[in-house]
């Protein structure tokens, strides 16, 4: 067998149609240093191939940008730090492809501080084990329209096979993840409507997204084969800005399954489903979502059948099952609208709602399904301690005021749900008394002292 045999396949690998050549040559490790003082900007990757590893030496750079480099359809090009790495900007542009950018064996070996991980007009990109904080966006993965570049107009390019996994995104002044264009029907430029290029086969998994002023995770204009799973999104929408405060958004012109996520403590909807076709949303935990300061609040799980006239999409069919929804607001634990009359019947079953004091008509109050012919069954009131967020007490004390009266004070570390709690106090005589404290709304704020009088 020839040592440097080239295996050639003709297929659309993403990006442009053409030949994808797979090298059978042995992998090589390359060491990459600055291209200009303090930065790595579009290094020459002509000698890089699939299976190679690029180790970035040095620990601080003002910018890192790769342009039109990558591996092949058989093996990724791996980019990683030699030790650890910090930068405010890490970018992939100009048809980067078949790349895995990896933080290395150390936890979050790549730190992006004060900026974003940007992926523009590229395909087959995996980002793994990266910490991102302090910027206006955590991950920016889309391609805006450029009048001078026809590849930025649909169908000039396909950004497919994007995988974002094991990321820690925190303390962001806007969206945690902005993945895909939010105007899939296009924009008018010089009198001509230009449709943005699409994403496809996007995976967002095992990420921790916390303390975002706007939305936690947003995926839009991503066609088929997409998945959002096993992520934790908490403390989202912290500035309570309308229409920019959801935990996870499955946007329009998108088909995906959303499962196994934990979303908690947000001002807007926990999960929003605006896509097309069959959308499975299951085994998610939504805790204290939609707490926007109003009496009714917002929905924990919300679906609406957005239209995308630029595509011939199947109608929306949402299947919402096996989710645990804790302390929803009265605007709805599950709300399926069908406002655009673009839905087939929905399935809403086997979901568990946890309320401190559920009303007799809880089903009508908290589950609102407006798509005709839908099936709603086996949804129950059930609080499972295993799914509740752990309560971290800073202080907890009980003072006896009289034989039948105690005053209890406590403070917890962070916002959490406490439907009730019990403490045991010992009298001087040795007698023990059980005090049961019920919180009126099942929710307490962190770093705030609470005092309650308990009458036995």
Token code pair at residue 196? 């943005």
Count how many Cα atoms sit within 13 Å of the Cα of residue 230 in the half-sphere of its side chain: 7
- b (16+ CB within 10 A) / e for 285-300: bbbbbbbbeeeebbbb
Q: What is the pLDDT of residues 295-316, one digit of tens each?
A: 999 999 999 999 999 999 999 9
Q: What is the pLDDT of residue 98?
A: 98
pLDDT tens across the length of the chain (456 residues): 333 333 333 334 467 654 457 988 999 999 999 999 999 999 999 999 999 999 999 999 999 999 999 999 999 999 999 999 999 999 999 999 999 999 999 999 999 999 999 999 999 999 999 999 999 999 999 999 898 999 999 999 999 999 999 999 999 999 999 999 999 999 888 888 889 999 999 999 999 999 999 999 999 999 999 999 999 999 999 999 999 999 999 999 999 999 999 999 999 999 999 999 999 999 999 999 999 999 999 999 999 999 999 999 999 999 999 999 999 999 999 999 998 999 999 999 999 999 888 899 999 999 999 999 999 999 999 886 545 445 667 777 778 888 878 888 878 777 666 666 666 666 666 666 777 666 656 667 777 788 888 777
Q: How far apart are CA 53 and CA 372, in angstroms?
A: 54
Q: What is the pLDDT of residue 441?
A: 60
- Domains parsed from the chain with CATH numbers: 6-385 (2.160.20), 392-455 (no CATH)
């Amino acid at each position: 067998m020839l040592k440097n045999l080239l295996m050639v396949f003709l297929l659309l690998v993403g990006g442009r149609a053409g030949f994808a050549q797979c090298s059978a040559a042995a992998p090589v490790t390359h060491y990459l240093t600055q291209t200009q003082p303090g930065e790595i900007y579009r290094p020459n990757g002509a000698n890089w191939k699939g299976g190679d590893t690029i180790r970035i030496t040095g620990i601080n750079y003002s910018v890192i940008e790769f342009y039109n480099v990558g591996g092949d359809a058989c093996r990724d090009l791996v980019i990683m730090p030699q030790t650890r790495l910090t930068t405010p900007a890490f970018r992939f542009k100009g048809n980067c492809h078949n790349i895995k950018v990896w933080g290395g064996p150390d936890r979050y070996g790549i730190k992006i501080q004060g900026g974003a991980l940007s992926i523009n007009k590229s395909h087959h990109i995996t980002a793994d084990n990266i910490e991102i904080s302090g910027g206006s966006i955590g991950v920016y993965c889309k391609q805006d329209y450029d009048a001078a570049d026809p590849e930025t107009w649909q169908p000039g390019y396909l950004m497919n096979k994007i995988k974002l996994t094991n990321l820690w995104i925190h303390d962001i002044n806007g969206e945690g993840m902005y993945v895909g264009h939010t105007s899939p029907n296009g924009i008018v430029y010089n009198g001509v409507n230009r449709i943005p290029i699409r994403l496809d086969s996007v995976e967002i998994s095992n990420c921790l997204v916390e303390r975002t002023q706007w939305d936690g995770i947003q995926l839009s204009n991503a066609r088929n084969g997409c998945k959002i799973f096993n992520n934790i999104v908490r403390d989202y929408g912290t500035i309570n800005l309308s229409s920019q405060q959801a935990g996870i958004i499955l946007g329009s012109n998108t088909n995906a399954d959303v499962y196994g996520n934990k979303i908690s403590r947000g001002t807007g909807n926990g999960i929003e489903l605006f896509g097309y076709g069959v959308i499975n949303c299951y085994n998610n935990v939504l805790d204290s979502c939609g707490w926007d300061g109003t009496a009714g609040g917002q929905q924990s799980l919300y679906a609406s059948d957005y239209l995308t006239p630029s595509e011939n999409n199947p109608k929306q069919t949402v299947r919402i099952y096996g989710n645990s929804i804790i302390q929803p607001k009265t605007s709805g634990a599950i709300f399926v609208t069908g406002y655009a009359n673009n839905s087939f019947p929905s399935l809403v079953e086997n979901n568990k709602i946890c309320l401190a004091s559920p009303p007799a008509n809880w089903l009508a109050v908290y589950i609102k399904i407006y798509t005709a012919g839908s099936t709603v069954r086996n949804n129950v009131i059930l609080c499972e301690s295993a799914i509740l967020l752990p309560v971290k007490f800073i202080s907890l004390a009980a003072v006896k005021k009289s034989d039948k009266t105690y005053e209890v004070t406590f403070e917890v570390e962070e916002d959490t749900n406490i439907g009730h709690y019990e403490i045991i106090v010992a009298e001087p005589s040795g007698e023990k008394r059980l005090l049961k404290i019920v919180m009126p709304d099942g929710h307490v704020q962190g770093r705030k002292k609470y005092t309650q009088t308990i009458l036995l």
